Amino acid sequence: MFTNEMNVSFSAISENEIFARLCVTGFVSCLDPDLEDLNDIKTSVSEAVTNSIIHGYENCEGIVYINCKISDRKIIIQIEDRGKGIKDIKKAMEPLYTSKPFFERAGMGFTVMEAFMDKVEVFSKEGEGTRVLMEKTI
């Protein structure tokens, strides 16, 4: 069975959104994914990392952690922050719901992740942080 793992952490600043998605897509490229799968992963990582920066840390100082595992053809990505956490996960995941409408956020982040990945799970505790687990078999 082919296995591979990668860990990366970086400052929670918007400049690092591009780094995060290129880092994960670079890591999974050993599976030779097609462009559509690669784009699905890239977009979902971008959504989760952006959520950590905007909502988890509310654009203040913090670190975003990414753990990525490959098991055969399955990719497991975990994106975590130690920010403020989510009070109501169910509500946060509703399409078009945003806690920040004045910033022109569309409220589509989790909807995009759920549409593009096979599985999305969110673990969060107020005051402690949030971890998003995503899986995709290619």
Q: Which residues are annotated as catalytic?
A: 47, 51, 105
In this chain, which stretch among 12-20, 62-70, 82-90, 123-131 interacts with other proteins, using CB under 8 A? 12-20
Give a three-class secondary structure readout of 82-94: CCCCCCCHHHHCC
- With residue 7 as reference, give the H or E element that holds it: strand 3-11
Please select the residue that binds other proteins; options are 12, 24, 28, 53, rule is CB under 8 A. Answer: 53
Distances (CA, A) of 74 to 1, 5, 42: 11, 12, 15
Q: Which residues pair with 81 in a beta bridge?
A: 64, 130
Please select the residue that binds other proteins; options are 109, 117, 129, 134, rule is CB under 8 A. Answer: 109
What residue ranges bind other proteins (CB under 8 A)?
A: 14-15, 17-18, 21, 35-36, 39, 42-43, 46-47, 50, 53-54, 103-106, 108-109, 111-112, 115
